[in-house]
Amino acid sequence: MFTSFLRSINRYPHIYGDMSDYVRDNSGRLVPKLIMKLGGTHPSMAHIRLASMALWYFAKDLKKLRTKEGECPFLEPSSHNTYMKTLLGYLKEQYNWNYSIQHDFNFQGGYTPRINLLFSERMEAYPGYGFGARKQLPQGVEKSSDIKWDNHYPDEKDIVQHQKKLLGIMGTHFGLRGRGEHADLRKCNVIIGKFEPSSRFKNHDFIGLTGLLDKTTKVSATNDYARNSNNNMRLPIIDPEDPRDPGAIFKRYVDKMHPHQDRVYCRPATSKQLRIFKMQGNNNAAMSPHQPYGVNKIAKLLKEIGEETGIDCRGHGLRRLFLTTLVNDPAVSVEESLAAGRHGSVAAQRTYMQRNHTSEANRFAALGIKKKDDDSK
């Protein structure tokens, strides 16, 4: 990020003049004079205007690394703004830049109004720009159960198909975040047991996840208790042989893990390995136990799933569908949706919620508006 900012300054020497000449900073690194000059606890208006100009010329050229023909080449506003805040944070830490996008650059010709205008122009030029990960799902997908993973990946004997199927289930039924949480899953995170006698699913087995850490589960100076998530992320196994049963899909996958396998997602075993496994009595093992997938491989699989199903599976796409499904169902309490989503507040969860036809129909029902063929009172 910082290196790209330096290149941007070099790209416009006619604007900065001798301010684009290089000098050594306190650590001996060569940087433009501009970087050193604009540091200070109480920057003057002249410095604020110069910093605003430098940030503007850098920001207007920010683009995605790879785009397909016809796609918008520019970063979404959310990513764009994160980049700029990260850059300013680094400049403050390293060079004592003390500027706030919100407070310092909101003057005529300043960074803030120019970027606002640029975002508006891009929204007109590229339909869907500015919606980011909240892009609409394919027609007919309103809730997690609308995605029939078995239709897309019917052959569980093919371990890669089974992995893609499970990645989908992990997103739509557990709401895992991004690629990292998938890649980090370990055998110790998997729990299998039987529902309590007081549960509506008594006498049924369950399978689930536990021990997933995030900022609200750890005991810290601002958090008094570690969250007990044992019962927050589990699925009943209704029919162990049903290709559409989410819990059964997960359980059949676990049964294919090698006894020495630590990570949930590993490379498919070679034909030679499969023969060795059978000689050792591990007839169901289908993966190479010591070759786990990294985050890049998981990202590639999620991208393939998206291309094969037409559903946004990268980032938080499936997590958004998972949480939207829960909050749109009046029978699911707020506390249950917060626990399932591993959120500490409704405000944190709201960023993932997406209105759809289901939420609209619930609003109509609340206002007493019914279809003519709706006999409910």
Domain termination site, one of 291, 312, 333: 312
Between CA 355 and CA 1 the distance in angstroms is 35
Which structural domain, as residue segments, surrounds residue 93?
A: 2-130
How far are the Cα atoms of 114, 195, 275 from residue 109, in angstroms, in the given order?
7, 63, 70
Q: What is the pLDDT of residues 273-331, one digit of tens each?
A: 999 999 999 999 999 999 999 999 999 999 999 889 888 777 678 888 888 888 888 88
Between CA 319 and CA 353 the distance in angstroms is 9
Backbone angles phi, psi at 333, to 5 degrees: -70, 160
Query: Model confidence at 377, in pLDDT bands (50, 70, 90)?
Result: very low
177 lies in the same domain as 70: no
Q: What is the pLDDT of residues 14-49, one digit of tens each?
A: 888 888 899 998 899 999 999 999 998 899 999 999
Total count of domains within the chain:
2
Q: What pLDDT is recorded for position 229?
A: 58
For residue 327, is it within any domain?
Answer: no
93 lies in the same domain as 163: no
Alpha-carbon torsion (343, 192, 226, 331), positive or negative: positive
pTM: 0.68
For residue 357, is it within any domain?
Answer: no
SS3 call for 204: coil
Cβ neighbours of 88 (radius 10 Å) = 18
Domain termination site, one of 312, 347, 372: 312
248 lies in the same domain as 174: yes
Residue 172: pLDDT above 50? Answer: yes
Q: What pLDDT is recorded for position 374?
A: 64
164 lies in the same domain as 107: no
Between CA 51 and CA 34 the distance in angstroms is 9
Q: What is the pLDDT of residues 336-352, one digit of tens each?
A: 888 888 877 777 777 66
Of residues 242, 235, 226, 250, the one with CA closest to residue 342:
226
Domain termination site, one of 70, 97, 130: 130
162 lies in the same domain as 305: yes
Q: What pLDDT is recorded for position 250?
A: 97
